[in-house]
Every structure is written in structure tokens, then in C-alpha cells.
Chain A
């Protein structure tokens, strides 16, 4: 009974078998045509003898079987037509048992049995019982399996089911169930026995061959599921226990895996829900090599889909305590299978979590429980390095984020951060980004300081250097993307209540302050602006701006702001800090806090004088300082003068150091400061002219510069500005004089023409012309000026 070796040999044997069948079929057909029962029986028995071979693998045996099957169909038709052979079926049933060899005898018997049942001359149940027991005589696995498979096939439509033709007195669907169960049990035994057929070294080949036959066994379960009379009770009390008994007792991993899966796929989800305990109870009893987690995952997936498609059954899930049972079962399996790798356990939990999110999304305690189980599984181990496990853990953590639109819900799960702690640094950051993206995508707002605390703990991998890593290792682009995400996130953190908002701001600051010089330039600005928005909100409230006793008042916030901006000095980021100080100064101005505003200005000036090095940056800084100063109305005369003087000084400080082009405009801007301080205005203008003249000298040295002309036109425009504002120092004569000066300069040989300054002058003249033509007071003012 050895399974055959060499493929070539097998082909030869198969060919021989087929030839044998064809040979006998020829004579069989002749016998059928002449209605010669004796000959028919003789040749059909010979034909069937080809199936007695033990030399073929299942795959090849199947080919032989199919040919035989076709012939048996003809045979059955012949048997059915008593007119053709004149033998009553009851006698036929007797007759065929005289066939010489057992296998052909049984095939013939089953074929006649089919006709017998159809004739209704005997109760179906009796015939079926007889057949299923007689088949016992064939114990060779492959031959036996195919024989019984034949029995299954021909009996399918003849089972005594409810409302079938074969239901009768004492002939019920229970008998059908009994028949199928028996056939199934025997087939399973044969199937399991196959594994002992070959030498151990051929185990892989054996398993493959066995797998080819598995559907023959599984078919019985299909048939059971189709029996109409079977309801939940029958399934629960009779079918499932019997099938599971077979599954557990056969102690064969291949069979166990396949059959568990088959049960789950074939019977309705409704049944599984109600028999969960029994089904799950079998799991720990299975062989340890069985991939039970795949089976369980399959079950959970089916149940999830069931819940999703029929929401009305959800209460049932609760009633049968599905979650608890599944959870316990998984726990037991993991415990029992000590060799199960971590990735297996985690993937089980992922399936359970998916199930929970589908079926009990409101039960956050369940979700947290699953995460807790993972934490226990992962604890005691070093940080995860296996990428498969990491992938599973990320899937685990992402599932709640995807399910709950309000990501904040996921944040309240106490075990969530604990699971994250087990990820390696790189994956931890990836997960943090997933969390941030989820919040941004759903426009969730995180509105209490507790939740903010949890959130920033979760993303701590992005906020600061974790053990063993440093920002130097990072790709710059990636790092920027990370930090910009954190910055954007800070705008999602908000509460209407000022006190709570201030607590939130303090919480965020506590976390980001440890970020180090590389991170602060990204994280400080959004926090500063959050705080400034809070200040403005407090201003907008009815009644007095909160007094100093109130927990959230502008003064406190400005103190905090000072601290936050100060931290930029470790980067160092003087330009950014300067801008932020000026923003604070403006806000303090709006709050009427003169000393606070003054202090911020002082800080800004210190940075300007000591830290801002690049000349272009200095010009921008001066613009910002002057622009802000111009808007200040909180300062008393003394403070205002001091600051204006400093600003002018800053401009003058550069007179000798900065290239001309940049300097002149700074000085001109100074005029905006101190409306009404006309003498100062004049001083600035005069200084500008002096500088312009100095520039003129430089022209003679460096050819090709038309700097002075442009500068003069600018000054002319400034003159017009103050002239219109009514400054008595600017006379029409002064204006006229400057116009003439410009014209002269433009026509002079030493000046190279500059189209932009030409255009500027032209448009200025147009403007003057326009003002003259305006009429009224403006026209009168401009009248003395001749163009």
C-alpha cells in the first residue's frame, strides 16, 4: 500500500487504468443496448475494478474516478428502467452483492441503492443506513474516501428532509442528519489515516495530497447545513457536538484546521453566535501546531461582517457576551500555545479589536481591555524590533483612530500610550504622525488640558529627543515635516473658557520647552500666537479686563510669553524673537499695560543691537520696530521719546556701515514716528539729504550709479506727504527746489539714465499735476508749484 513514486510511472498506470475502463465500457454499452443484465453486471464490475488500484496519487485517482462516475450514471438509468432488465429493484439490490470484489460490489450497491430509494419501495433511512455501514468494508484511505464521496453525491437529493419526497412515517430529517454525520465521521477517519501511508520524509508531499481531498470530507458539512429541518437547536445539541468530537479526537492538525474553518464558513453566523462557547471551547483542545489564530480571525471577521450588515442583531451579541467569550478564548489559546510567536498573538488581538470596533464601538472599556492584553503580552520584552510585529502594533493603534471620527476618544484609552511605549523610536514617531494626521483630517479639536496632556505624551517622540536618538540623525526634510505638523497641531488645541485655555497653553509649553534648539523655532511661534489670541479674547470680554486676581489675566499671559520667547535665545533665533516681542508689545499696548509694552520694546532693541547681524535683516527689523512704534498709543511722552530716539539712533548707526541703498530708506521711515514731532521730522529729512549728498560723492567714484536721483525722488515724495499733512516746515519753495534739482541731475552727463527712477519721477509729477487740478483747498495748496 505504498503511495507511488516516479511521476512517469504514475502516468503509465493512469493510462493503463483509463484503457481498462474504456475497454470494459465498450462491452458495457453493448450489453446495455441489448438489455442484457448479466453482461451489464459483468462488465460494470470489471470496469469498476480499475478503481481497486493503490498505485495512484489522489489527483490521478480522481481522473479515473470521474470516468467511472460517468459510466455509473448510464448504469443507474438502466437499473431504474425495470422494463429493460425485468428485475425488480429489491432483487437487484440482492443481485449486485454477488460481485466478486468488495469495491465494485459497493459501488454497484450504492448505485442500485439510489434507484431503490427513488422507487420508495423501502424507507430511505433504511437503505442509507445499510449503505453507510457497508462502506465500512473499504478501509483503504483513498479508495474509501472516493467511495463514500460517491455515496454522498448520489444520496444528496434523496435525503428524507422536511417536505421532501422521502419524508415519511418514521423517516425524518433526523435520520438524514444521522446518516450524514456517520458518513462524515468515517470519511474523516479515512482522511486522517492517510498521513500514515507514506514515509516521514515525504510528509510535505503527503500533506499536499491530503489537502487535495479535503473538500470530499467538507462536503458533508455542506450537506448538513442544507438540510431544511436543521435549526439552531439541532445544530447546537446534535450536529456541532458530534462534529467537534470528531475534530478534537482525530488529533490531526491538517484535519483540525480545515474542519474548524469549514464549520465557520458553512454554517450561519447566527448559529455561531449562539454556540460561541462550545465552538471556542474546542480551540484549546486542538493540536498545538494548528494555526488557530487564523481560524479565530476568520470567525471574528465573519461575526464583524454579520454585525455590520444586520445592526438589529447587535443586542444578541451583548446577550451572549460574545466579546468576553472571544477574549477569554484568545487568552487561553495564547496561554496554551507557548511557542506562538509574538506576532501571532498581536495579530489575534488586532482581529479582536476590529471585531470590537465593529460590534461594540461604544464600549471603550472593551477596546481598552484588548489594548491592555497586548500590553501584558509585550511587557517584559525589549522594544520591538521585528518589523512584522511592529506592523501589527501599528495596525492595532490605527484601528481606533480610523473608527472614531473624534480622535480624542482614542486618546482616553488608558492602555493606548502603554502600547505605544513598546514601539521603537522610529515607529513611535510614525505613529505620532498618524495621530496628528487623523486629528487634522477630522478637524477634531482637543479641548481640555487633560486630553492635551495625553496627546502630547503620545507624540513625545516628535517633541523631544528620546533616549538614544538625536535630531542629528534625521533627514532634514523629514524633520521639518514633523515639526511643521506639530505646529499645525497646536491650532487644533483650543477651549473657549479662558482659564482652561491658559492651562492648555501652559501644558503645551511644559512639553515643548524640552524640545531643544532645533525644534523651538517651529513650536514657539504657534504657541505665542495662541497666547496672543487669548489675550485678545480677554480684551473682548464685557466688563473690565480681568484684574490681577483672576487666574487668567493678560499680565500673567505676558509673563508667560516673555518666558517662551526668551527660550529662543538658546537656538539662537534673534530675528524671530524680535518679531514676537514686537507682537507682544502691540498686544500689551491694546491692554493699556505701558510698562509691559516698554519692556518688550527694550528686549526687541537689545536683539537688534546685539544679535541681528545680516544687513538686510537689520533693515527689515528696523521697519518692524518703527512700524510697531508708530502704532503705539500707550506710551507717555517720556517713554515715547526714548524709544523714538533709540530708533533714530539705530538708523544713524548704520549710516557709515551699511550700503547706501539700504540705509536711506530706513532713515526716511523714521519720519513716520512721532506724528507732530515736526522738528524731528525735519532733522531726519536733513539727515537724509546729507546722506544723499554723500552718496553723490560716491557716484563720482563708482560710475554707473544713479542712486542719488532715485533717492531725491523718494525724498520729494516724502516732502509731498508732509506738505499735504500741513507741516509748515515743508514749503512750496523747498518742493520746487527739489524738483529742479532732480531735473538737473537727470539731464547731467555723469548720470546714467535709470528707467525706473525716470518712471518714478514721471509718476510723481503726474501726481502733483493731478493734485493741482483737483481744485478746492488741495488745488490751492499746490498752485504755487510750477512744473
Chain B
């Protein structure tokens, strides 16, 4: 089993001062094998912090990121799955599933991770899964009102991925999970 942390839209220090303490205490170094980050960290300190949680860090550029050299999109293969990351401000209308599906086809990935809306979502369609881990700090968004801090942990095991979403609601961490199984016929 391979653990992949997906998070983003922290907006530190523009919109938030830090990750919620309850999240910080959960993100223990050495437990996670990969991190995919949808961007908008925004500063190097956050990058360095994420690196301590896991050195294999993949970031896509958000529009407020201090580091302008992050790529617009990134793809990587983990086990049987191809993952793609993109911040999502480039896909208009923002949060539109059909448009995101288009991006997914373009990147040719099973799992697409995007952000920007600060709203956790996980959609399954015939070509794969689109995940939005929300905002890890619960920061202000023009798109979503009442944002709760959230992040996603994916457990990849063979052809199956279990997506755990952690949300901080009224001071308590709530966990939910969704199962996805990949059919083997996707790459004809």
C-alpha cells in the first residue's frame, strides 16, 4: 500500500497564518510516500515544511505562488495509477466537471487532482476519478462560502485506491472514505 497525500490552496500567509494544529499533528514525517499539491502554498516556508513531511513532493503552480517555476500541470505514475495535478484556475468554468474531464483526457491520467475552488469533491466517471482536496487551511475563497479545512489521503493498493478525506468541522476532524477500482482495459 502506498500513501499519497493530496492537499493545496493553503494561501499562507495571504489568507491564513498556518495549518490547523490538528492537521499538523496528523502529518507526521515518514508515514507518507508521496505528496501531490494543487498549489497556492504560497511561500517557500510552506514548501520546506511539506518537504519534511515527505521528500517526494509534486506541486502544480497556483496563481498566488511565490515560486513561479512550478509547472502548470504535472503527471506521475504510482503503482498502477497515473496521477495528474493542476491547480485548476486554468480550467474554465472553475470547478466544472466536464471541463475537468477534458483536462483529464488531455493528461491521460486515471486520477486528476485539482484545486482552486477550496471545496472538497471526488467525482468518478468512466475514465477515472477527479479529486479536489479543498483548502488545507480553510482559507477564504470567492467561489466557496464557509470553507472547512480539508485534505485527502489516497491509499493505492494494486488496482484499487481508497480516498480518505479529512475535514475539520467545528474543531473536530471528521473522516470519510470513497473506494475506486480501476478496470484494466483503460489503455487500449
A721 at the interface (CB under 8 A from B): yes
Residues of chain B within 8 A (CB-CB) of A154 are none
**Number of A-B residue pairs at CB separation under 8 A:** 97
- Whether A672 contacts B92 by the Cβ 8 Å rule is yes
Interface hits, A225-281 → B, CB 8 Å: none
- The interface residues of chain A, by DSSP majority, are classed as helix
A600 to chain B, nearest CB (A): 12
Q: Across the interface, name the chain A residue whose C-beta is closest to B142.
A: A586
Interface hits, A717-765 → B, CB 8 Å: 717-718, 721, 724, 756, 759-760, 762-764
> CB-defined interface of B91-127 with A at 8 Å, one 1/0 digit per residue?
0111000110110111010000000000000000011
- Whether A583 contacts B142 by the Cβ 8 Å rule is yes
- Whether B140 contacts A484 by the Cβ 8 Å rule is no
Given contacts A587-B142, A672-B93, A721-B98, contact A763 B127 (CB under 8 A): yes
State A588–B55 Cα separation when bound (angstroms): 42
A87 to chain B, nearest CB (A): 84
State A522–B42 Cα separation when bound (angstroms): 11
B32 at the interface (CB under 8 A from A): no
- Whether A526 contacts B14 by the Cβ 8 Å rule is yes
- Whether B14 contacts A717 by the Cβ 8 Å rule is no
State A626–B92 Cα separation when bound (angstroms): 8
A430 at the interface (CB under 8 A from B): no
> CB-defined interface of B6-25 with A at 8 Å, one 1/0 digit per residue?
00000011111110000000
B26 at the interface (CB under 8 A from A): no
State A522–B64 Cα separation when bound (angstroms): 12
State A764–B103 Cα separation when bound (angstroms): 11
State A522–B139 Cα separation when bound (angstroms): 17
Residues of chain B within 8 A (CB-CB) of A579 are 63-64
A78 at the interface (CB under 8 A from B): no
A779 to chain B, nearest CB (A): 13
B67 at the interface (CB under 8 A from A): no
A714 to chain B, nearest CB (A): 7
- Whether B63 contacts A766 by the Cβ 8 Å rule is no
> CB-defined interface of B137-173 with A at 8 Å, one 1/0 digit per residue?
0011011010000000000000000000000000000
A404 at the interface (CB under 8 A from B): no
> CB-defined interface of B23-65 with A at 8 Å, one 1/0 digit per residue?
0000000000000000000010100000000000000000110
How many residues on chain B are close to A (CB under 8 Å)? 32
- Whether A756 contacts B108 by the Cβ 8 Å rule is yes
- Whether A630 contacts B13 by the Cβ 8 Å rule is no
Given contacts A764-B105, A770-B126, contact A487 B14 (CB under 8 A): yes
State A721–B142 Cα separation when bound (angstroms): 25
- Whether A491 contacts B106 by the Cβ 8 Å rule is no
B85 to chain A, nearest CB (A): 16
- Whether B13 contacts A491 by the Cβ 8 Å rule is yes
- Whether B98 contacts A488 by the Cβ 8 Å rule is no
Q: Across the interface, name the chain B residue whose C-beta is closest to A623.
A: B90
User: Looking at the complex, which one of A491, A628, A763 makes contact with B16 (CB distance below 8 Å)?
Assistant: A491
- Whether B145 contacts A536 by the Cβ 8 Å rule is yes
B182 at the interface (CB under 8 A from A): no
Please indicate which of the listed interface residues B89, B104, B106, B108 has the most CB atoms of chain A within 10 Å of its own CB.
B106
A545 at the interface (CB under 8 A from B): no
Residues of chain A within 8 A (CB-CB) of B13 are 484, 487-488, 491, 522, 526
- Whether A760 contacts B142 by the Cβ 8 Å rule is no
Q: Across the interface, name the chain B residue whose C-beta is closest to A756.
A: B108
User: Looking at the complex, which one of A492, A586, A623, A721 makes contact with B89 (CB distance below 8 Å)?
Assistant: A623
A529 at the interface (CB under 8 A from B): yes
Q: Across the interface, name the chain A residue whose C-beta is closest to B128.
A: A763
A533 at the interface (CB under 8 A from B): yes
Please indicate which of the listed interface residues A489, A491, A762 has the most CB atoms of chain B within 10 Å of its own CB.
A491
Given contacts A484-B45, A763-B105, contact A631 B93 (CB under 8 A): yes
Residues of chain A within 8 A (CB-CB) of B140 are 529, 532-533, 536
B123 to chain A, nearest CB (A): 15
A653 at the interface (CB under 8 A from B): no
Given contacts A579-B64, A583-B142, A627-B92, contact A763 B108 (CB under 8 A): yes
User: Looking at the complex, which one of B64, B89, B105 makes contact with A717 (CB distance below 8 Å)?
Assistant: B105
- Whether B92 contacts A488 by the Cβ 8 Å rule is no
- Whether B188 contacts A766 by the Cβ 8 Å rule is yes
- Whether A627 contacts B94 by the Cβ 8 Å rule is yes
Given contacts A529-B14, A620-B63, A717-B102, contact A767 B142 (CB under 8 A): no
State A760–B84 Cα separation when bound (angstroms): 13
Q: Across the interface, name the chain B residue whose C-beta is closest to A755.
A: B108
Residues of chain A within 8 A (CB-CB) of B43 are 480, 484
Q: Across the interface, name the chain B residue whose C-beta is closest to A714.
A: B106
Residues of chain A within 8 A (CB-CB) of B127 are 763, 766-767, 770
Q: Across the interface, name the chain B residue whose C-beta is closest to A629.
A: B92
State A522–B66 Cα separation when bound (angstroms): 11
Interface hits, A399-449 → B, CB 8 Å: 440
Please indicate which of the listed interface residues A488, A526, A627, A628 has the most CB atoms of chain B within 10 Å of its own CB.
A627
A358 at the interface (CB under 8 A from B): no
- Whether A624 contacts B63 by the Cβ 8 Å rule is yes
Residues of chain A within 8 A (CB-CB) of B102 are 717-718, 721
- Whether B99 contacts A721 by the Cβ 8 Å rule is yes
A669 at the interface (CB under 8 A from B): yes
> CB-defined interface of A756-787 with B at 8 Å, one 1/0 digit per residue?
10011011101100100000000000000000
| 26 CB-based A-B contacts, threshold 8 Å | A481-B45, A484-B43, A488-B18, A525-B15, A526-B14, A529-B14, A532-B142, A583-B142, A620-B63, A620-B90, A624-B63, A627-B89, A627-B92, A630-B92, A631-B93, A631-B94, A665-B90, A672-B93, A672-B99, A721-B102, A760-B106, A763-B105, A763-B108, A764-B105, A767-B105, A767-B127
Told that A623-B90, A763-B104 touch, could you supply 10 new A-B pairs with CB distance under 8 A? Answer: A620-B90, A624-B63, A627-B92, A631-B94, A672-B92, A717-B102, A718-B102, A763-B108, A766-B127, A766-B188
